[in-house]
A and B are shown apart, each in its own frame.
Chain A
Amino acid sequence: MPFTFPHFGSLKYVFVSLLHELGREDIVIPNKPSKHTFLLGARHSPEFVCTPFKLTLGTFIESLNRGADELGMGGGCGYCRFRFYWQVQDFILRDLGYKCKWVRLDYESPIDIIKELKRASNGCNTLQTIRAFQIAWIKNRLTDLTDQLLYKYRAIETTKGTSERIANKAFNLIVSTRKMLEIRCLKKKITNMFVENIEVDKKANPLKIVVNGEIYVVLEPTLNLDIHKRLNDLGVISKTPITLRRFIDVGQRFNPFIKMDFQKANAYGVKYVPYRVGGETQENLGDAFLYKKKGWDGLVHLYPFTCMPEIISRSIFPQVSRESGMPILSLVVDEHTGEAGFQTRLEAFVDLIKQQKEMNQIKEN
């Protein structure tokens, strides 16, 4: 029963290594979705469902055609539609004539994750499953680190393309390392790889922009038209505080001495939306204050069309922008988003921030 999962940016490498740890060798690694995948998914999807549904459905159809028949997806009961996706996708795929089995993870409860993973594993006992899960969340820290370094070095490298090459090497290293002790050493190793191998433009004074929003849009390059690359090409360092670790990194989540990024942002966000409404609403609103304090220059908020929680944050962002002084650009994406329009808006946003920064510097002098 070959296993597959939706393409999810660099988290793909985490999922692959998790499945390796669970003893599964029969994995169909999803291809990077193309425009064709997107349209394929949209053709069979309901009319005004949110965009990740369409892209994941397209990816599943392509993977099923390549021989997979066990699909991994989120499940359970939650605030937004995401956890009900698989049920509808199941009916759609069945009507299209595919036969598939689902592994659905209630990702907010670690106990449920472990139970479900144990069921999906190739005869692992509970202890082995917990170990595999632990390796997955530690590897997720590493992929987040690699992404962060890539988005930084790609903006200031002198020879175009070096940092991407090194990031690919780092991802391969993350997947191929199996022993816990070696994984623990990887953090230093990956940082060194970037520091030693990339020539940076030391005179550059790049702008810094945070990208946040709905998790799937922010992390999946096909859906956000590779916004980080676009920003980096404009000479801007980008970063995203959005990470799946929020749910799966049990080590940090329940550690009283470490405050994860989302917890810090949440403290600012509750002023605007006092109760959780699902998605990352409170955290996204709080990020504006958090990153303003850290000295970042702007924030780009991404969300898919008809996303329920993010529409709330989009409606409140103008007020947050006024009160925090952080320039904010909200962008909605779906399968019809044009590259040119997207690029133009980003360029205009970057230009405005640049001007504002220069004006402020003149005032200070």
Chain B
Amino acid sequence: MFKRVGIPRALIYYKFAKMWNIFFKEIGAEVVVSSETTKNMREVAIEIAPDEDCYSTKIFHGHVMELKDKVDCLFIPRFGSKHKYDMGCPKFIGLADVLRSLYPDLPKIIAPHFNMAKYGHGKIDFLKEVLKVGFVFTKNPIRIIKAMKKALKADKDYKKKLIIDMETLHQWEQSKVLLNDRPHEIPDERRLKIALVGHSYVINDKFCSLDIRKKLQAHGVDIITSEQMPREPIEEQLDKLENRLYFEFEREILGTIMYFLESGSVDGIIHLMIFSCGPDSLAGELASRFAQYKEDIPLLQLVIDDLTAEAGMRTRIEAFIDMLRWRKEKHAIHVPALRVT
């Protein structure tokens, strides 16, 4: 029986962290999550990962290397999608196979596959995969199902807490509530409001995003992230596109940008892109074009890769914030009235 399961703290871990942790704990496995990304980890990752992979995927290799000797097995799910049409990134499905091929000395990889869009997986297939994972650690199916229920509930609660509703969004727009850490007060300056948009594995990773949340906080900026956005305005905005944007994680990014460009309720938008990320390249292009059509809201797109230097990034963010403050004197911010739906 395996005991210790390793989960790399990268990519979709940031989406499903609660669920996975609780599930493995309940079935009696010891969970080892790799530490936060460090510079050393990045150096290792850049050295060994395939050249053309996107920066986040490369970082993933670094996390796996850290865990390799500490655990009995690794948990790298092949996550296709959990929507009828939308897909994740193809690399998420192939990741386990690539790792197994590149490093034959890795411990056993547990790689359940779930893809609702293309394979039409439903609840029964999900249960099958969960049981398959569970039997690696325990022989008791009832325990596995109980653990699954608990994990799904935890995930639901986490999402409920993370994703705000429309009412809270409007209250935030009117500066009545704070969604993230309290920004520092800067004398004689108003508090700015910025939407921080990007993949959850970028904006939550302190090293990858160069700790942009702290930087914005220090500049007295109140932020909302794209993963906190309620789903209704995102779906509403993306229905304007003729072709469905079928990348599940990209939807919330482009939807958030489109929503704030239309509502005009923030001072600016910062979009963190990852170099050579497939979906980002197209959605980023669309976002920049939409921002050109609507000039009231400035959009800053920062492309991050392994060569991004902290100083350059800091300068650009500072310049952007200065510009916003300078603009603010001329442009009164537009606060939409609460919509009753």
Q: Which residues of A line the B interface, CB within 8 A?
A: 45-50, 75-81, 83-88, 90-92, 95, 104, 272-279, 281, 305-306, 308-309, 311-312, 314-316, 318-319, 332
Partner of A277, one of B90, B117, B244, B285: B90
Complex: chain B residue closest to A303, CB-CB: B52
Q: Is the CB of B97 within 8 A of A272?
A: yes
Bound: A86/B101 CA distance, A: 35
A7 to chain B, nearest CB (A): 22
Partner of B101, one of A47, A80, A91, A272: A272
Partner of A77, one of B244, B275, B279, B286: B244
Q: Digitize B72-106: 1 where CB-to-A-CB distance is under 8 Å, 0 elsewhere.
A: 00000010100001110111011001100110000
Instruction: Given A81-B279, A312-B98, verify A88-B285 contact (CB < 8 Å).
Output: yes
Bound: A165/B83 CA distance, A: 51
Q: Is the CB of B278 within 8 A of A87?
A: no
Q: Is the CB of A278 within 8 A of B90?
A: yes
Q: Is the CB of B281 within 8 A of A312?
A: no
Q: Is the CB of A83 within 8 A of B246?
A: yes
Complex: chain B residue closest to A310, CB-CB: B52
Bound: A88/B245 CA distance, A: 11
Complex: chain A residue closest to B285, CB-CB: A46
In the complex, which residues 130-162 of chain B have their Cβ closer than 8 Å to any Cβ of chain A? none
- In this complex, how many residues of chain B approach chain A with their Cβ under 8 Å: the count is 41
**B118 at interface (Cβ–Cβ under 8 A)?**
yes
Instruction: Specify which chain B residues have a CB less than 8 angstroms from the CB of A311 in the assembled complex.
Output: 50, 52-53, 91
Can you show 24 pairs from A to B with CB atoms below 8 A apart? A47-B303, A76-B243, A77-B117, A79-B90, A80-B90, A81-B279, A84-B243, A84-B245, A87-B242, A87-B243, A87-B286, A88-B286, A91-B289, A275-B93, A277-B91, A306-B52, A306-B276, A306-B281, A308-B91, A312-B90, A312-B97, A316-B98, A319-B102, A332-B52
Partner of A274, one of B85, B113, B118: B113
Bound: A309/B243 CA distance, A: 21
B65 to chain A, nearest CB (A): 15
Most chain-B CB neighbours within 10 Å: which of A84, A86, A276?
A84
Bound: A109/B303 CA distance, A: 36
Q: Digitize B233-276: 1 where CB-to-A-CB distance is under 8 Å, 0 elsewhere.
A: 00000000111111000000000000000000000000000011
Q: Is the CB of B94 within 8 A of A281?
A: yes
Q: Is the CB of B245 within 8 A of A315?
A: no
